[in-house]
Amino acid sequence: MAAPSDVNEINISSSPHFADNWSTAKIMLAVIIALMPLCVYGIVLYGLSAFITILVSVASCVVFEFLFQKLTKQPVRVGDLSCVVTGLLLALVMPPAIPFWMVILGAFFAIVVAKGFFGGIGANVFNPALTGRAFMFVSFPIAMTTWSTPFADAVSGATPLVSHGTDYMSFLLGNRAGCIGESSVLLILLACLFLIAMRIIDWRLPLSMVATVALCTLIAGGDVLAAVMTGGLLFGAVFMITDYATSPVTPWGRVLFGAGCGLITFLIRNFGGFPEGVMFSILIMNVLVPFLNRIVPRKYGYGKKKAAKEGK
């Protein structure tokens, strides 16, 4: 009997015996691709300082991830590219002219404190990039609110939410002062469509957040278009609340999470002490994720009456 085991090395494992060819790294790569146009456009608008900020942020995130995993004797997972995504996200929500050493501190806080200390990829409670930004926001409030005007170097201007500017065309194209990646509504929407089409993000999250802000603004009698298109709302709704580890996994959990982020954003913007509320709204809602995950879909075979009706 020539059993094949005589000549071959046979693997044993539980089923299923093959898998789809997605991987964590491929998902992260898709997000990086979606962020690229925003990076390039940010550099075009704000010049070399934006480029340096992006570079420093990504590089320090990668280095901190590597060092932390080495020091704590964990398997090094830099290859999953999640630290690159964190680096890009962190840079894109910075003012272009931020001093680079502040960016390094922010990256440290994002990767080591917000992610590493909580158990690494998938286990963190708070969005790493936003935690890093929040740390910088409270530590360096002036540097974090010094905005550059496009095509000029480090000219201070007020944030659009404060200045009541309502030039919708400039919001769409992003030809205005603001964070590196948050300015162009058009590019963010394109990235959003790309990520939804690639099934990387769930449409429920951005839609529920933006819709909630729009609805609240409408009820309050504000300028709905300006509320949606300005500040960090769209960037946060597309890239920040869709972070897997820090958002719910269930469909209705996601809807409520997005709606909660939208509601708190609206409240902070209109009644809070800061002009912009996206960052804190998301960080607050991050805490609620385990509870929102309890809102699970109806399981197959439960709720007989409805099932019986469908059969008829």
Partner 1 sequence: MRKFTFKGGIHPPEMKELSKDKKIECAFPSTKSVCIPVTQGGAPNQSLVNPGDYVVRGQVIARSDAFMSAPVHASVSGTVKKVENRLVTANVEAPCIVIESDGSDKTEYLAPLDPFACTKEEALARVREAGIVGMGGAAFPTHVKLNPPAGKKIDCVLANAAECEPYLTVDYRTMLESADKVVDGLAITVKITGAESGIIVLEDNKLDLVEVLSGAIDKHAMKDKLGVTVCKTKYPQGGEKSLIQAAVGREIPAGGLPADAGCVVDNVGTLVAISEAFREGKPLIDRSFTVSGLSCENPCNLKVPVGTLVGDLIPEVIHLKPGVAKIISGGPMMGFAMINANFPVQKNTSGVLFLTAKEAPAYEENPCIGCGRCLKACPCALTPVLMNRALTAGNIDEAKKFGLMDCVECGSCAWVCPAHVKLVQRFRVGKNIVRAEAAKAKAAAEAAKAAASKGDK
Binding site for partner 1 (CB under 8 A): 1-5, 7-20, 22-24, 26-27, 77, 80, 82, 120-123, 199, 202, 244-245, 247, 249-251, 293, 296-302, 304, 307-308, 310-311
Beta bridge partners of 298: none
Of 78 and 224, the one with the shorter C-beta distance to partner 1 is 78
Helix or strand holding residue 172 (H, E): helix 168-173
Of 22 and 101, the one with the shorter C-beta distance to partner 1 is 22
Smallest gap from residue 195 Cβ to partner 1 (A): 12
* Cα(30)–Cα(113) distance, integer angstroms: 26
Please name the residues in contact with 4: beta carbons below 8 A apart, sequence gap of 6 or more: 10
Smallest gap from residue 136 Cβ to partner 1 (A): 25
Of 219 and 308, the one with the shorter C-beta distance to partner 1 is 308
Of 219 and 294, the one with the shorter C-beta distance to partner 1 is 294
User: What distances in angstroms separate CA 244 from CA 43, 224, 249, one per listed residue?
Assistant: 28, 28, 8
Per the CB < 8 A criterion, the answer to whether 265 and 220 are in contact is: no
Smallest gap from residue 45 Cβ to partner 1 (A): 32
Beta bridge partners of 157: 147
Q: What is the DSSP secondary structure assignment for residue 144, as one 8-state letter? A: G
Smallest gap from residue 251 Cβ to partner 1 (A): 8
**Strand, coil or helix: what is 147?**
strand
Of 96 and 120, the one with the shorter C-beta distance to partner 1 is 120
- The CA angle 292-293-296, to the nearest 5 degrees, is 110
* Count of helices and strands (H, E) across the chain: 15, 0
Smallest gap from residue 7 Cβ to partner 1 (A): 7
Of 273 and 311, the one with the shorter C-beta distance to partner 1 is 311
Smallest gap from residue 4 Cβ to partner 1 (A): 5
